[in-house]
Amino acid sequence: MTTQEMQAAFEEAYGRKAEKIFFSPGRVNLIGEHTDYNGGCVFPCALSFGAWLLIAKNADGVLRFRSMNMEQVYEIKIDAIAPQPNRAWCNYALGCIDIIKRRHPDAELQSGYDLLYYGNVPAGAGLSSSAAMEVVTARAFTEEMAVCDQDSLPFGYPDEKAYRTELALIGQACEHEYAGVMCGIMDQCASAQGKKDHAIYLNCDTLEFEHVPVKLDGIKVVISNTHSPHHLDSGAYNDRVRQCHTAVEQISKVKPIKFLAELSEEDWKEVESAITDPIAKKRARHVVGEVARTAAAVEALKRGEIAYFGELMTASHVSLRDDYEVTGPELDALAEAAWQVDGVLGSRMTGGGFGGCTVSLVKDEAIERFKAFVGSEYEKKTGLKADFYVAEIGDGVMRL
């Protein structure tokens, strides 16, 4: 889909051209899963596909929401912004506008807006289609609602990094309040702070991060889609958050901590007996190990030790399968088939789990063999057909 085709769709819907176009990417997390809301580090990268938003002001005092991916159309008065029923897709946008107003009392909608969204992140694939929509909306409306000169950053943020962090925080708050998913900050931060050919080593507690070059000579990042949609708002995700909180509470009786990520693997050996809830213990064991694996993986990438990076990815999946229990038969089938292919350095689930995608490091000469074998084995085990994407690492949110 080209921007010209999107403009034509906007004109067909609203009878005039869009005034501005914005883009925000989806993301894939290379390693560091379910560490973000536990105060740990993650290692995602922005993708070259994501969400586009075309906007134009209207004089009617309403927000009109259309999507090239969804049939439902919504029209909401600007003085009556509130969550819409039946899991309306416009909530991911409405929430951002509402939260901008609440976080910045001087911000206000000066008019109504006609909006058209288009996304090419596979829905339900765990590649952050919702975060891309949130961040692109936050980018557009912080600009539209800001009281600032044309060339200034909205709301007087001191630099681009701080402004992009604010976009991520707006998106996360929207996810919490309007979608009911108590997610961490990783997805929104990757969409906001992405950089071409770099991954983001992000501390989800402090929001400090480092852009790390991804140099994979003769190796590609391949995303495999289960087509078994994940449902983060089904309760299982929020259950994991609560179980981790239980582990923190019980550990804090012998070693005061705020987050599980504060524990080293040596610390874990000393405090694990304090956790009396066996499920909470398994969840905590994954988090502590995953934090250590993520740090080791980043250092391996910096040293060019890609084979070791791949081994850590595979170990991550095993932990997510056995201790965090968020993989399921579809993700396991993809990962286990990938591990059998000569030329695959590592493979793991990515995203929240409960369906979605795996991410694999595959040598160039093995990619077609990988697709054929993994696709065949996956269909035999599940009856589903997988899709495969050779990922390109792109930039974060932008105005086009």
CB neighbour list of residue 361: distance below 8 Å, 6 or more residues apart: 216, 219, 220, 221, 222, 306, 309, 310, 313, 344, 345, 346, 347
Residue type, 185: I
**Residues 370, 343 contacting (CB under 8 angstroms):** yes
Q: How far apart are CA 278 and CA 285, in angstroms?
A: 11
pTM here is 0.90
The percent of residues in the chain predicted with pLDDT above 90, rounded, is: 83
Q: What is the pLDDT of residue 180?
A: 85
Greatest pairwise CA separation for the chain in angstroms: 67
Phi and psi dihedrals of 392, rounded to 5?
Answer: -110, 135
Tokens of 111: 């008019």
Q: How far apart are CA 388 and CA 224, in angstroms?
A: 5
The model's pLDDT over 288-305, given as tens digits with 9 standing for 90+, comes to 999 999 999 999 999 999
The model's pLDDT over 131-186, given as tens digits with 9 standing for 90+, comes to 999 999 999 999 999 866 656 788 888 899 999 999 999 999 999 999 888 888 88
Q: How many other C-beta atoms lie within 10 A of the C-beta of residue 207?
A: 15
Q: What is the pLDDT of residue 150?
A: 58
Question: What 3-state DSSP class applies to 374?
Answer: helix
Q: What is the pLDDT of residue 125?
A: 65
Q: Which are the catalytic amino acids?
A: 187
**Residue 232 host element (H or E):** none
Q: What is the pLDDT of residue 228?
A: 84
Q: How far apart are CA 158 and CA 154, in angstroms?
A: 10
Q: What is the pLDDT of residue 121?
A: 83
The model's pLDDT over 43-91, given as tens digits with 9 standing for 90+, comes to 999 998 999 999 999 999 999 999 999 999 999 999 999 999 998 999 9
Q: What is the pLDDT of residue 306?
A: 96
Q: How far apart are CA 44 and CA 354, in angstroms?
A: 19
Domains of the chain with bracketed CATH: 3-213 (3.30.230.10), 219-390 (3.30.70.890)
Rg (CA), the chain: 21
Region 342-354 average pLDDT: 93
Q: What is the pLDDT of residue 50?
A: 94
**Residues 132, 81 contacting (CB under 8 angstroms):** no
